[in-house]
Chains A and B, each alone.
Chain A
C-alpha cells in the first residue's frame, strides 16, 4: 500500500521538473519584470481540447478588436474586499432590502437593517431611492454565487462617532430626544447613537414613561468609542444657581429619587442628598414605602452638607410639629415645615446657650477651687477670657 502511494507520487514530481515552467523560473530570476503566469495561462499553454479560432472577419462583424478589449481588461482593477468603501447605485428593490450595483461581478445586496442608523421599522423605499448613488461599505465575503452584502449604517455609525467626539472637545450643551427608559436611567438619541443618561444625573424628575419623546439639554459624561460607551448628563447641562446658598438649617423642597433599605435619596437643588431612615420621623419607621414614594415632592431640612464631595444629609424629623407626624400625616408636616423649623432652630439655639451657661458654671466652680489651690491669676473676672 505504501509502495503504491510512493510510486504514484514520483511521476508527478518528475513531470514537474520537465515542464517549461522551471526554465521560465530561471529566466524570472534574471529578468524580474517578467509577468507571472496564472494557472489559466498554464492550462491554456497545455490545452489539447477543441479550440475555437476567431477569424479576423468576426472582429469586423462584431465591431471591436481584441486589442481594444485587451486594453480595457488590462486597465481594470478588480478588488472588492471586506470593509472597503465603494461607490454604488441602487438598481432595484427586493424583499428585505435592495440590490446595489457596485461594479463587481455580482450585484450586491443591501439588507433593510443595514440601510440606516436609526431603525424605525420603515420600508426600504422610504430610506433610499432607485438610481441613487452613494457610498457603501462591504460587510461580507462573497457567498457561493459571488454576491456581497453592503451597508450604509456602518459608514453613518463611524461618522456619528466622529461628530460626537468633536462635540465632546468643545463640551457644549446640546439637545437630544429620549427614546426609551430602563431601570438605571434613560436612553437618548445623540446623532443617531444611543446614549445613556443615568437616573442620578437627571434633574427635576424621575426616569419614567413620560420621559419618552421629551427633549432635554445634555452634556457628555463619558465618550469611549472602542468600548461603545456613550454616557450623558442632564445635571451638568442645567445651571444650578442654588448650590452656593445652601447651608445647615435650611428648609427646602426636594424630590424623592430612590428608596433604599437605609433611607431615601432626595434630589435637592440639583444635588443628591440622603434622607436616612432614622432621620425621617421621631417614631420608628417599619415600612419606608408607606411614608415615601419615588417621585414624591417633600420638604426637608439640611442638617449637614459636604460641598467638597457633593453630599447632603437631610432630615424631616426636625420638621415634625409632633413626634410621629411623618408617619401619620405627612401633609401637616410639610405645611407647617417652616414654622416647625423655626421653632426647632430656636430651641437648638436655646439649648446651645444653656449648655454654654452650664459649662461656664462648671468652669466658674473650678475657678474657685483653682483659687484655693493658689493660682489667683485665674480669677472669675477673667471668665470670658477663659471661655473664649
Chain B
C-alpha cells in the first residue's frame, strides 16, 4: 500500500481546486476553504479516500481483475500511458472514441486490424507494396496506434475504470455506468461526486498531482497482483 503523507500532497498541489465561481456545489463536503478566490480541497478526506481506493484496488488486483486507465487531457496523456504500462493495464490517453465499451464488438474489429497492420509492418509487407499504398497503410497504422494502443490486448470489458478528469471524460463515465463497471476517479471542485463510485477529491490539472495519485494506485496494483 503506497501511502502518501501531507508533505507530498501539498508539494504536488493536490489541494488546489478551481476558481471559486467554477465549483459544483455537490463538492461542498470535500472543500476545506476558499483562499485567493480558489477553493482548497480537504486533504484529510483526500488521504482517507485515497486509502479506501487503494484497499479496493488491492482487493480487485488480488482477484485478477483488469483495470482501464482513462485520461485524455494534455497533462495526463503521457503519465497515463507510463503508469498503465508499469502495472500491465489497459489505457486510453487520446480521444475516447464513442462506444469504446458499449460498442466493444465493433472496436474489437479495429484492434484486430491494428494487429494485422503491425504484423505486416514487422513482416516487411510495406516494402513490397507500391509507394502510395504503403503510405496509406502506414497512415492508417499511425492513426489506429494513436487511439487504440492502450487497449490493443484487451479481450473483454475491464473490471475497474480509473478516470482522471471527470468533466472531460463524460462519455467514458456514462459508458461505464451503463455497463455497471465501477469507477474510481479524481474529482476536482467542478465535478459531480454522485456519478462516481469511489471518489478521490484532488487536483486533476497539475501533472505532479496526477502522477502522485496514479503512482499510489499502480503501486498497490503491482503489489497485490497474484503472479
Q: Which residues of A contact B (CB under 8 A)?
A: 38-41, 43-44, 47, 49-52, 54, 58-59, 61-66, 68-69, 72-73, 76-79, 91-92, 94, 99, 101, 103-107, 109, 142, 145-147
Task: Given A40-B34, A79-B36, verify A54-B16 contact (CB < 8 Å).
Answer: no
Q: For the A-B complex with A40-B20, A63-B47, A69-B42 known, give 16 more contacts whose Cβ atoms are closer than 8 Å.
A: A38-B33, A41-B34, A43-B28, A44-B28, A58-B44, A59-B44, A62-B51, A69-B6, A73-B32, A78-B35, A91-B208, A99-B74, A103-B13, A105-B18, A106-B203, A145-B73
List, in ascending order, chain A residues with CB within 8 A of B33's CB: 38, 40-41, 73
Q: What is the CB-to-nearest-CB distance from A157 to chain B, in angstroms, rounded to a whole number?
A: 26
Once bound together, how far apart are the Cα atoms of A351 and B44, in whole Å? 110
Find chain B residues with CB under 8 A from A43 CB: 28
Is B86 positioned at the interface, with any CB of A under 8 Å from its CB?
Answer: no
By the criterion CB–CB under 8 Å, are A72 and B51 in contact? no
Contact yes or no, A101 B34, CB < 8 A: no
**Closest residue of A by beta carbon distance from B18:** A146
Q: Which 9 A/B pairs are nearest by Cβ-Cβ distance?
A: A106-B205, A40-B34, A105-B16, A64-B6, A62-B47, A52-B29, A78-B36, A38-B34, A91-B207
**At the interface, yes or no: B43 with Cβ under 8 Å from chain A?**
yes
In the bound complex, CA of A66 to CA of B42 (Å): 9
Verify if B134 is at the interface (C-beta below 8 Å from A): no
Determine which of A40, A76, A105 lies in contact with B203 in the assembled complex, contact meaning CB atoms within 8 Å.
A105
Judged by a CB distance under 8 angstroms, whether B17 is at the interface is yes
Known: A38-B34, A41-B33, A61-B51. A101 touches B206 (CB 8 A): yes
Is the CB–CB distance between B207 and A52 below 8 Å? no
Chain B residues with CB under 8 A of A106: 75, 203, 205-206
Q: Which chain B positions have C-beta within 8 A of A99?
A: 74-75, 207
**When each residue 69-101 of chain B gets 1 if its CB lies under 8 Å from chain A and 0 otherwise, what string results?**
000011101110000000000000000000000
Is B5 an interface position by the 8 A CB rule? yes
Least CB distance from B170 to A in Å reads: 15
Nearest chain A residue, comparing its CB with the CB of B208: A101
CA distance A68 to B7 in the complex (A): 10
Q: List chain B residues, Cβ under 8 A from A94.
A: 74, 77-78
> Closest approach, in angstroms, between the C-beta of B18 and any C-beta of chain A?
6
Chain B interface extent, by class = 35 or more
Cα–Cα distance between A66 and B47 once the two chains are bound (Å):
12
- Whether the pair B40, A68 counts as a contact (CB closer than 8 A) is no
Contact, CB under 8 Å: B43 / A69: yes
Tell whether B215 is near chain A: CB-to-CB under 8 Å.
no
Least Cβ–Cβ distance between A80 and chain B, in angstroms:
9
- Does B216 sit at the interface, judged by CB under 8 A? no
Task: For the complex formed, measure the closest distance between the CB of A220 and the CB atoms of chain B, giving whole angstroms.
Answer: 43
29 contacts between A and B (CB under 8 A): A39-B34, A40-B20, A40-B39, A47-B28, A49-B28, A52-B30, A59-B44, A64-B5, A64-B44, A69-B6, A69-B32, A69-B42, A72-B6, A76-B35, A78-B16, A78-B35, A78-B38, A79-B36, A99-B74, A99-B75, A99-B207, A103-B13, A104-B206, A105-B13, A105-B205, A106-B203, A107-B206, A145-B73, A146-B19
Is B151's CB within 8 Å of the partner chain A?
no
A61-B78 Cα distance, complex, nearest whole Å = 32
Q: Whole-angstrom distance between the alpha carbons of A280 and B3 in the complex?
A: 92
Task: Specify which chain A residues have a CB less than 8 angstroms from the CB of B79 in the assembled complex.
Answer: 92
Inter-chain CA distance A49–B27, complex, in Å, is: 11
Residues of A within 8 A of B18 (CB): 105, 146
- On chain A, the residues within 8 Å of B39 by CB distance are 40
Q: Report the separation of the CA atoms of residues A77 and B51 in the bound assembly, to the nearest whole angstrom.
A: 29
Distance, CA A63 to CA B50, complexed state (A): 13
Give A110 Cβ to nearest chain B Cβ, in Å: 12
Whether A66 touches B75, Cβ cut-off 8 Å, given contacts A40-B39, A145-B205, is no
Report the separation of the CA atoms of residues A219 and B28 in the bound assembly, to the nearest whole angstrom: 65
In the complex, residue of chain B having the shortest beta-carbon distance to the beta carbon of A69: B43
Known contacts A64-B6, A105-B206; decide if A40 and B19 are in contact (CB<8 Å). no
> Which residues does chain B contribute within 8 Å of A68, judged by CB atoms?
6
Q: Is B116's CB within 8 Å of the partner chain A?
A: no
A145 CB → nearest B CB, Å: 6
Instruction: Looking at the assembled complex, report how far the CB atom of B63 sits from the nearest CB atom of chain A, in whole angstroms.
Output: 24
B222 within 8 A of A: no
Give the residues in chain A near B47, CB-CB below 8 Å: 62-64
B205 touches A54 (CB 8 A): no
Question: Could you tell me if A105 and B38 are in contact, using CB atoms closer than 8 angstroms?
Answer: yes
- Asked whether B108 is an interface residue with its Cβ less than 8 Å from the other chain, the reply is no
Distance to closest chain B CB from A367 (angstroms): 105
Q: For residue B82, which residue of chain A has the nearest CB?
A: A92
- List B108-163 residues whose CB lies under 8 Å from chain A: none
**A50 CA / B145 CA spacing, docked (Å):** 46
Q: How far is the CB of B131 from chain A (nearest CB, A)?
A: 27
A50–B42 CA distance with the chains assembled, in angstroms: 16
Contact: A63 with B34, CB < 8 Å? no
How far apart sit A40 and B74, CA to CA, in the bound complex (Å)?
30
| In the complex, residue of chain A having the shortest beta-carbon distance to the beta carbon of B74 | A94
Task: Kindly provide the distance from the CB of B211 to the nearest chain A CB, expressed in whole angstroms.
Answer: 9
For B203, list chain A residues within 8 Å (CB).
105-106
Q: Shortest CB–CB separation between residue B69 and chain A, in angstroms?
A: 17
State whether the Cβ of B45 lies closer than 8 Å to any Cβ in chain A. Answer: yes
Chain A's closest residue to B30 (CB) is: A52
**Which residues from A are CB-within-8-Å of B45?**
52, 54
The minimal Cβ–Cβ distance linking B141 to chain A, given in whole angstroms, is 19
Find out whether the CB atom of B5 lies under 8 angstroms from the CB atom of A63. yes
Q: Is A142 within 8 A of B75, CB to CB?
A: no
**Are the CB atoms of B205 and A73 closer together than 8 Å?**
no
Q: Find B44's partner among A49, A62, A107 (CB 8 Å cutoff).
A: A62
